[in-house]
Chains A and B, each alone.
Chain A
Amino acid sequence: MLPIGPMSRQGREADRRGLEILWPLASLLWIGLWGGWAGLLLPQRYPAGFLAPSPVPTPSADQVNAVARQLYCPVCANVPLDVCSTQACEQWRAIIREELSQGWSAQQIKDYFVQEYGERVLASPPAQGLNLLMYLLPPLAFVLGAYFLYRAVHTWRGGPGGAGSAPSAPAEDEYARRLEDQLRRKG
């Protein structure tokens, strides 16, 4: 295998070794960040600062909306419950208000809605059974793609240089580099 590129072999080796460590680390970091953030999705998130252990006399509209925002209108498609303007949605928000004043927690209210109207009232399906597949597939697809990319890069790097590959090292002067680019493009 011929070394390619005008840089010193040692320099390239050092870069290569550094990058061999850097790439997997970087990928792990991204996957870790992603997994951590996605993991927060699995248990249903509560609206910030909202815990009602004791009955609230008259829940404010904001408190009702904080719960309603996590639900979808059971009838209209893809419309969150807090912005839906139909009379039926108004009734559902009234139910939320009623249940909040009785001291129900947001999770209890959501469970009630699921029991009454089915799983599609939730913004995200509960993470069980088939739905686990839903959460797992995107990161899996990314990891798979990254693997293919890694393999492709390694395969291609192994081969001999083709005609006209490897332009000169980045020049100090930006303009000179650009000039070279243009000259190369014009043939």
Chain B
Amino acid sequence: MEASPSSAARGPRVSVARLILWGLVLAFLALMGFGLYRAQEGQIRGGLAPGFTLTTFDGRVIRSSDLKGEVVVVNFWASWCTSCGQEAQDLEAAFQQYRTSGVVFLGIDYVDTGPQARAYLQQFGISYPNGPDLGTRISQSFRIGGVPETYFLDRTGHVATVEIGPITLAEIRSILDPLVAG
């Protein structure tokens, strides 16, 4: 069985081809590894919170950079989410209670429609600022897994605690008291 005549001449070309092949395979594995890492990462649990800009339903623009030095509660919700309704009143009550302490409550409306969102806010009498998460940018930066989720940021802008699922007034107070004090 004779080798094909140009196999010798194909020497250097074959090694380039091999290099490319290895490169592609390694790139593919790296990509899969990255994807897996991201899928398993879950929500941000600590460290500096991602910056964001929220335009509320009333047209106000709130930037996360303006909130330095404050304790911030960031709550992700949606009008079509039934368990969000469970915590809505507790959140509003907490907002009223901590008003004097200067805790900032922000509601971020995830993938929702304007009229339904406003109806939801009216139904539960929410008075703290709420705005739509345009392009799902904010929820992607926080890497939320669903709604409702509540992120508590301390005065330095770091994520102190994350609550997945509906939160109660008692839980809010137990988290906020040390943050407001310290």
Binding site for B on A (CB under 8 A): 74-75, 86-88, 91-92, 94-95, 114-119, 155-156, 158-160, 162
A116 touches B2 (CB 8 A): no
Given the complex, which residues of A lie within 8 Å of B162, measured CB to CB? none
B80 touches A116 (CB 8 A): no
B80 touches A162 (CB 8 A): no
B6 touches A158 (CB 8 A): yes
The A contact surface, by secondary structure, is helix
Known A155-B4, A158-B6, A160-B2; judge A88-B111 contact (CB<8 A).
yes
Given the complex, which residues of B lie within 8 Å of A118, measured CB to CB? 135-137, 140
Which residue of chain B is the closest to A86 with respect to CB atoms? B80
Known A91-B116, A162-B1; judge A116-B134 contact (CB<8 A).
yes
Cα–Cα distance between A115 and B5 once the two chains are bound (Å): 60
Known A86-B80, A91-B113, A95-B113; judge A74-B136 contact (CB<8 A).
yes
Nearest first, the 5 A-B pairs at minimum CB distance are: A88-B80, A118-B135, A74-B111, A118-B136, A91-B113
Cα–Cα distance between A87 and B135 once the two chains are bound (Å): 20
Given the complex, which residues of A lie within 8 Å of B5, measured CB to CB? 158-159
B113 touches A92 (CB 8 A): yes
Interface bin, chain B: 10 to 19
22 A–B contact pairs at CB < 8 A?
A74-B111, A75-B111, A86-B80, A87-B80, A88-B111, A91-B80, A91-B116, A94-B113, A95-B113, A114-B135, A115-B134, A116-B132, A117-B111, A117-B135, A118-B140, A119-B135, A155-B4, A155-B6, A158-B6, A159-B2, A159-B4, A159-B5
In angstroms, how far is the closest chain A Cβ from the Cβ of B141? 12
Cα–Cα distance between A7 and B32 once the two chains are bound (Å): 53
Given the complex, which residues of B lie within 8 Å of A87, measured CB to CB? 80
User: What 5 additional pairs, Cβ within 8 angstroms, besides A86-B80, A87-B80, A158-B5?
Assistant: A95-B113, A115-B135, A118-B136, A158-B6, A162-B1
Which residue of chain B is the closest to A1 with respect to CB atoms? B5
Which residue of chain B is the closest to A73 with respect to CB atoms? B111
Given the complex, which residues of A lie within 8 Å of B6, measured CB to CB? 155, 158
Given the complex, which residues of A lie within 8 Å of B136, measured CB to CB? 74, 117-118
Cα–Cα distance between A114 and B1 once the two chains are bound (Å): 61
Given the complex, which residues of A lie within 8 Å of B132, measured CB to CB? 116
